[in-house]
Amino acid sequence: MKGLTYRASFNVDLQSSLRDGYSPRSIVNKADLNDNSGSGFKVNTNGLALLHESILTYSTLFAQHHSFKATAVVASQSEDNNSNQINATGFPNDATQNEALQLALTRTVTSSRSRTRLDSYLARINYGYKDKYFLDLTARVDGSSKFGANHKYGLFPAVSAAWRIIEEPFAKNISWLSDLKLRGSYGITGNAGGLNPYQSLATVSASGSDYNINHTFVTGINPSGIANPDLRWEKSTQADIGLDISLLNNRISIIVDAYQKTTKDLLYVKGLPLSSGYGTITGNFASLENKGLEFAVNARILDGPLKWNVSGNMTMNRNKVLDLDGGTTQERFITAYSILKVGQPLGVFKTYVYDGINQTGDAILPGYDGRLGGLKVKDINGDGTISAADQVITGNPNPKFIYGFSTNLSFKGFDLSMFLSGSQGNDIYNAARLSFEMPLGQRNQLAGLANRWSPTNPSNQYVSGFQAGRLPVTSQVVEDGSYLRCKNLTLGYTLPRIKGVQQIRVYVSTNNLFTITKYSGFDPEVNTYAGSNTAIGIDNLVYPQAKSFLGGLQVTF
Amino acid sequence: MKKILIPILVAFGLASCQLDETIYSSIYTEAFYKTAADAEKGLIAAYDPFADMYSGPAGTLIADFSDDQTYPRGVVGRNTLTLFTYDINYTTQKSNSRLNEAPQQIWTSGYDGIEKANWIIAKVPAATMDETRKKQIIGEAYYLRAFYLWMLTKNFGDVVIKTTPSYLQADAILGKSPKADVYKQIYADLDLAFAAGLPSYPAVDKGRPSKEVVNALYAKAALYNEEWQKALEKAQAVITSGKYSLMPDVRNVYKYDQEDAARIENMWAYEVDPVLPGRSHQLTGLCGPPASAGPEYGKTTFGSMFAYQSFYNSFNPADKRRLLLDTTYVDKNGKTIPQRSITPITTEGVLIKKYQDPVSTIGLIPNIPIFRLADMYLIAAEAEARLNGATPLAYGYINTVRKRAGLPDLQTGLSKDALVDAVIQERAWEFFAEGDRWYDLTRTGKFLTVIPKAVNSVYPVRNVTAKNKYFPIPQDELNANPKLEQNPDWK
């Protein structure tokens, strides 16, 4: 049948890893050497991911002006993960290291396996009239094994339409306008996030409960957690309206978008009362709103022998927590210093307000274990004692806007390009500084600590050396995380063509050449909880991005 | 087109039933608690939080660093207990990763244990197994639940009573009950545990409670709740059971090579063994001299916990229990190290010798006593005195303990109050470094007068206040539990 196509794909992803180590007897102090000296381990993990996708499309053009395309997709993916671990202690000698763990005096073994599956079904109709009006209808059903028995499937419909105004007779004659298109869309999307499997089920497992009975170590089987049979898809309803404009023979193009997105049933890991006997539960406990504007401009400024393109984009997003726990909670800590609070952006920082250092003669308020030479915090409610009520919102990790800018210049064989990106108005909780400014005598410290507080050196910045870990969570480490970074700068030269070779280009390039920021940490672009959708803007010692310089030769045949 | 659609529809039909999860490495709760093996495994899980509570061991340290007998070297937040500077978030212990030494560990593990005991109590009755052992297993769970609840109420006052497992999230958020109701629950659980046919010593497994241990907890809980008649009855029931007796030499109660022999007195303890994997605790390491310098104390010791010189001086020199303290030690070269050189923090370091383990390289031998027969004698003495005054019976109980310590009988003709005070003083000498003294001070209100005087060069000022009678409920609990309020004194 004409216009009908079928495409199928199958992907198999096999992963296998071995992590092993050995701590030899030879490094043990001779006096301490005994039967239990020497230890080794092996951890085998393997994963099998299968993905199948079938796409059936039918497209046709009828009555001259009507284009019609129908698409049906069936996709299924599964992931199977296995992990086996052996720890062994007490080797007779170092000869076999960890390659014969059966020689060890004691061995502990753990193994686990998990499997997840995601099935998707999609139907889409694209309709166009005269290359001027477009309408797309999509319906998809996704099913994930991770959700509760009655909540595995989610239906996610979407509709979008576009009007190419440039095709209208009144617009066609405007000489400086080369394209004009108005777009709109409305739809629901689903998210299963980084959810772990089995959380909707009531299960028990041998997960580390044990005791010594009759001089023997025995392991127990304990509840894995509180089952959440209501675990379901996180759903976002998004409306978007956009305009694409091209001017002056496509020399300048502009894209503008405005969107509003409401997320219901936000998936997150919530702390349970310790009195329940459990730590956390995963579920759909919040709703959230995001709205914003996006701009992008692309301009071919020079188009002769000297070519110069520039482009820029900017996104302004505002988010707000709409409710928590079905309206029963107003505020909830997600880390020791960041919260979800109804009416506030995601993950704002809630801390004491830093007020310098307790100087000789200062009255040290009770309630936060403050001491002479230690951090001083503000008594916000003025009740003469420092309590949880004195913790206020002291920072917002969400930027006012993020932006990017790139430029490409080429002349004869030379090309020069640069890409800048930045973020403005976001705060970072520099948790690493707490560690680097807490003199415990066991780790590296910031150089500034040489100037730490003492009765004779009343520093107002660095605490004295006798804090024994006593640094309250304060706004001292909430910093402006705005930055502008040169992500890439490249200079290249393409050699004149020679026979048999299509192109030879030499270039020098640098990544992360410079960063303009007031942030005192290593890298304003990091986030310790990179996988979390709620704990954001936290720098607790993540390896910073490297500045790199590259030289290269590209030969294309 | 039909040819293609059919397989797709078939695929759709097949796939829809394949989203059920296969739980390879765990067991459906409804398929568990069915057999004898299930019940035993589930019960071990209910013991596990007891081990978490005593690994730090928060179970003794939060009391012993607060009292007038022993104190820590001021590191990793231990001194917040001695100085009463902890906050409701236990910030200092938390930032030093030492919650295992903080009151919060009691809260966390207490409720962890209660939840696991609740599952046994709810599910094991339906298991198919030997009925005698089934009853015992449920009885052990009742005992453990009572023990955890008692640990919670003696440290936090009014606490949450949870008697059913959390099947769903809604079951997990409960408010607290008055202390009186908490004790009612403890007694009710202990009555059921007592009726469960638990074996007596020596038939009982090492580590499990005997029938008499159930009464021991009952006696002590009743003592703390000032129900003297109950305390007396239960303590007498243990004493007259004839299953236990005092070790002739008090030092042997704590000696690493006498552990099993000492079970005749040491009724229930936190069990550790020199095995790997296995449960352990820090007391051996904390109490020995710094830098593992005293081989008699342990292979690895830190010099982090000492007794006050004033407490050492309070002993009658004839008291054998003073031999469980020392003002010198012998180093690896056989040289006697004088008191002034025991620790850099003070010239008056007094070493504690209740947890010495000179032999273990992995794990430890010394258990931490929870209930000893000596405790029953002193509970009986105090309860009898409070009920009936300075009777010969009360004298008899306290003198049994004094005699074993090598002391003469207590002076006769004491008033009721004087005898009660004498018993509490006797408890101080008997149970130091066993997590006991602090609760004698708080239940009697003596902590407000005793603690400010229990100072030395390391802790010259100790500002204890009325709110320190109980520890604050952890902020982490309050953050997650809208139904629970902080203790009034800590608001």
**A72-81, A373-382, B478-487: least confidently modelled range:** A373-382
Search chain A and give the residue with CA nearest B475.
A388
Residue A359's pLDDT is: 83
- A114 in contact with B, Cβ within 8 Å: yes
Residue A441's pLDDT is: 59
| 8 A C-beta contact, residue A390 and residue A377 | yes
Distance from CA of A415 to the nearest CA of B (A): 51
Instruction: Please give the average per-residue pLDDT across B430-444, as a whole number.
Output: 97
Q: State the best of B1, B21, B50, B101 to mutate against chain A, taking most chain A CBs within 10 Å.
A: B21
- A57 in contact with B, Cβ within 8 Å: no
Search chain A and give the residue with CA nearest B117.
A222
User: CA torsion, points B158, B164, B169, B170, in degrees to nearest 10?
Assistant: -70
Establish whether the linkage from the previous residue to B408 is cis, with ω within 30° of 0: no
The fraction of chain A above a pLDDT of 90, given in percent, is 51
Residues from chain A that touch B43, judged by Cβ atoms under 8 A, are: 220
Answer yes or no: do B44 and A218 touch at CB < 8 A: yes
Among the partner-chain residues B116, B207, B477, the one whose CB lies closest to the CB of A213 is B207
CB burial class (10 A; 0-12, 13-18, 19+) of residue B7?
exposed
CA distance B224 to B386: 13
Residue B8's pLDDT is: 52
Extract the tokens encoding A39.
Answer: 């230890």
Answer yes or no: do A210 and B11 touch at CB < 8 A: no
- A326 in contact with B, Cβ within 8 Å: no
Answer yes or no: do A117 and B477 touch at CB < 8 A: no
Nearest 5 degrees, angle CA B317-CA B323-CA B324? 135
Extract the tokens encoding B142.
Answer: 């009742």
DSSP H helical ranges for B124-264: 131-156, 179-194, 211-224, 228-241
Extract the tokens encoding A160.
Answer: 């979008």
At B119, which helix (H) or strand (E)? Answer: helix B103-123
Q: Is the pLDDT of residue A471 over 70?
A: no
| 8 A C-beta contact, residue A147 and residue A233 | yes
**A473-477, B237-241, B288-292, B481-485: least confidently modelled range:** A473-477
Distance from CA of A87 to the nearest CA of B (A): 10
Instruction: Please give the average per-residue pLDDT across B249-264, as a whole number.
Output: 96
Residues from chain A that touch B25, judged by Cβ atoms under 8 A, are: 111-114, 205
The fraction of chain A above a pLDDT of 70, given in percent, is 97
Answer yes or no: do A106 and B277 touch at CB < 8 A: yes
Residue B345's pLDDT is: 93
Among the partner-chain residues A108, A203, A277, the one whose CB lies closest to the CB of B28 is A203
CA of A246: how far to CAs of A461, A548, B485, in Å?
54, 37, 63
Please, which residues have CB within 8 angstroms of residue A202's CB and are 6 or more apart in sequence? A223, A227, B28, B29, B30, B167
Distance from CA of A108 to the nearest CA of B (A): 8
| 8 A C-beta contact, residue B301 and residue B292 | yes
Q: Which is more confident, A167 or B291?
A: B291
Q: Tell me what the pLDDT averaged over chain A comes to.
A: 88
Nearest 5 degrees, angle CA A130-CA A136-CA A141? 160
| Full DSSP string of A8-46 | EEEEEEEEEEEEEEEE-GGGS-GGG--TT--EEEEEEEE
Instruction: Please give the average per-residue pLDDT across A487-494, as a whole number.
Output: 92
Among the partner-chain residues B25, B167, B481, the one whose CB lies closest to the CB of A275 is B481
- Model confidence pLDDT, tens digit, residues A208-221: 899 999 999 999 99
Distance from CA of B292 to the nearest CA of A (A): 11
CATH topology (fold) of B29-197+470-486: 1.25.40
Choose among A35, A43, A42, A41: nearest CA to A93. Answer: A35
Q: Is the pLDDT of residue A373 over 90?
A: no
Residue A239's pLDDT is: 95
| 8 A C-beta contact, residue A524 and residue A488 | no
Give bridge partners of residue A211 from the DSSP assignment: A218
Answer yes or no: do B480 and A209 touch at CB < 8 A: no
Q: Is the pLDDT of residue A531 over 90?
A: no
CA distance B465 to B446: 12
**A241-250, B120-129, B250-259, B430-439: least confidently modelled range:** A241-250
* A 362-401 near B (Cβ less than 8 A): 367-369, 387-388
Q: Which is more confident, A123 or A389?
A: A123
Extract the tokens encoding B27.
Answer: 């067991």
Give bridge partners of residue A140 from the DSSP assignment: A122, A156
CA distance B24 to A417: 53
**A13-27, A377-391, B270-284: least confidently modelled range:** A377-391
CA distance A335 to A270: 11
Extract the tokens encoding B263.
Answer: 């079970």
**A197-206, A444-453, B447-456, B459-468: least confidently modelled range:** A444-453
- Model confidence pLDDT, tens digit, residues A41-88: 999 999 999 999 999 999 988 888 899 999 999 999 999 999 999 999
Extract the tokens encoding A519.
Answer: 């942030």
Answer yes or no: do B111 and A277 touch at CB < 8 A: yes
Residues from chain B that touch A269, judged by Cβ atoms under 8 A, are: none
CA distance A47 to A114: 10
- Model confidence pLDDT, tens digit, residues A112-138: 999 999 999 999 999 999 888 999 999
Among the partner-chain residues A58, A201, A224, the one whose CB lies closest to the CB of B21 is A201
- Model confidence pLDDT, tens digit, residues B374-387: 999 999 999 999 99
pLDDT range class, residue B11, cuts 50, 70, 90: low
Distance from CA of B95 to the nearest CA of A (A): 6
Instruction: Please give the average per-residue pLDDT across B346-364, as a whole number.
Output: 94
Extract the tokens encoding A143.
Answer: 């099913």
- A148 in contact with B, Cβ within 8 Å: no
Residue type at position B251: R
Answer yes or no: do A275 and B23 touch at CB < 8 A: no
- Model confidence pLDDT, tens digit, residues B141-189: 999 999 999 999 999 999 999 999 999 988 999 999 999 999 999 999 9
Q: Which residues of A362-393 are buried (b: 16+ CB within 10 A; e: fewer)?
A: eeebebbbbbebbbbbbbeeeeeebbbebbeb
The fraction of chain B above a pLDDT of 90, given in percent, is 86
CA atoms within 13 A of residue B252's CA, in its CB half-sphere: 13
Answer yes or no: do A276 and B51 touch at CB < 8 A: no
Residues from chain B that touch A469, judged by Cβ atoms under 8 A, are: 76-77, 92, 95-96
CA distance B8 to A547: 51
CA of A250: how far to CAs of A101, A176, A245, B268, B475, in Å?
69, 9, 9, 86, 61
**A489-503, A504-518, B24-38: least confidently modelled range:** A489-503
Extract the tokens encoding B29.
Answer: 């709760």
- Model confidence pLDDT, tens digit, residues A400-440: 999 999 999 999 889 999 999 999 999 999 888 877 877 66
CB neighbours (10 Å) of residue A173?
7
Residues from chain B that touch A115, judged by Cβ atoms under 8 A, are: 21-22, 24
Search chain B and give the residue with CA nearest A389.
B491
Answer yes or no: do A198 and B166 touch at CB < 8 A: no
pLDDT range class, residue B1, cuts 50, 70, 90: very low
CA distance A75 to B300: 59
Answer yes or no: do A272 and B79 touch at CB < 8 A: no
Choose among A547, A556, A546, A557: nearest CA to A492. Answer: A556
Give the total residue count for chain A.
557
Distance from CA of B460 to the nearest CA of A (A): 16
Instruction: Please give the average per-residue pLDDT across A474-479, as a whole number.
Output: 87
Distance from CA of A400 to the nearest CA of B (A): 29
Extract the tokens encoding B415.
Answer: 């008033």
Q: Which is more confident, A492 or A375?
A: A492
Please, which residues have CB within 8 angstroms of residue B414's CB and are 6 or more apart in sequence? B390, B422
CA distance A417 to A548: 16
Answer yes or no: do A205 and B12 touch at CB < 8 A: no
CB neighbours (10 Å) of residue A502?
9
Residues from chain B that touch A143, judged by Cβ atoms under 8 A, are: 15-16, 19
CA distance A31 to A27: 12
| 8 A C-beta contact, residue A294 and residue A257 | yes
Residues from chain B that touch A90, judged by Cβ atoms under 8 A, are: 276, 362
* A 511-550 near B (Cβ less than 8 A): none
Answer yes or no: do B92 and A274 touch at CB < 8 A: no
CA distance B252 to B262: 7
- Model confidence pLDDT, tens digit, residues A15-32: 999 999 999 999 888 877
Search chain B and give the residue with CA nearest A145.
B19
Answer yes or no: do B24 and A218 touch at CB < 8 A: no
Q: What is the largest CA-CA distance in chain B?
A: 108
Among the partner-chain residues A76, A112, A272, the one whose CB lies closest to the CB of B480 is A272
Answer yes or no: do B482 and A328 touch at CB < 8 A: yes
Residue A304's pLDDT is: 85
- A329 in contact with B, Cβ within 8 Å: yes
Q: Is the pLDDT of residue A167 over 60?
A: yes
Q: Number of A to B CB contacts under 8 A, please give it.
A: 268
Asked whether the CA dihedral B388, B392, B396, B399 is positive or negative, the reply is positive
- A113 in contact with B, Cβ within 8 Å: yes
CB neighbours (10 Å) of residue B211?
24
* A 158-177 near B (Cβ less than 8 A): none
- Model confidence pLDDT, tens digit, residues B104-146: 999 999 999 999 999 999 999 999 999 999 999 999 999 999 9
Residue A140's pLDDT is: 94
| Full DSSP string of A490-544 | EEEEEPPPBTTBSEEEEEEEEES--EEE---SS-TT--TTTT-SSS-SB-SSPPP
Query: Domain boundaries in chain B?
Result: 29-197+470-486, 283-354
- Model confidence pLDDT, tens digit, residues B323-353: 999 999 999 999 999 999 999 999 999 999 9
**A102-111, A298-307, A454-463, B182-191: least confidently modelled range:** A454-463
Q: Tell me what the pLDDT averaged over chain B comes to.
A: 93
Extract the tokens encoding A451.
Answer: 């100037």
Q: Is the pLDDT of residue B480 over 60?
A: yes
Answer yes or no: do A113 and B24 touch at CB < 8 A: yes
Asked whether the ipTM of the predicted complex exceeds the cut of 0.90, the reply is yes
Answer yes or no: do A276 and B166 touch at CB < 8 A: yes
Residue B5's pLDDT is: 53
Tokens 């306290």 sit at which residue?
B398
Please, which residues have CB within 8 angstroms of residue A327's CB and are 6 or more apart in sequence? none
Residue A466's pLDDT is: 63
| Full DSSP string of B366-423 | PPEEEEEHHHHHHHHHHHHHHHH-S-HHHHHHHHHHHHHTTPPPPPSS--HHHHHHHH
CB burial class (10 A; 0-12, 13-18, 19+) of residue A551?
exposed
Answer yes or no: do A217 and B477 touch at CB < 8 A: no
Answer yes or no: do B474 and A274 touch at CB < 8 A: yes
Instruction: Please give the average per-residue pLDDT across A524-537, as a whole number.
Output: 80
CB neighbours (10 Å) of residue A424?
16
Answer yes or no: do B477 and A329 touch at CB < 8 A: no
Distance from CA of A95 to the nearest CA of B (A): 22
Angle between helices B392-404 and B416-431 (to 10 degrees): 20
Is A407 in a helix, a strand, or coil? Answer: strand
Q: Which is more confident, B181 or A522?
A: B181
φ/ψ of B378, rounded to 5, equals -75, -30
Answer yes or no: do A211 and B273 touch at CB < 8 A: no
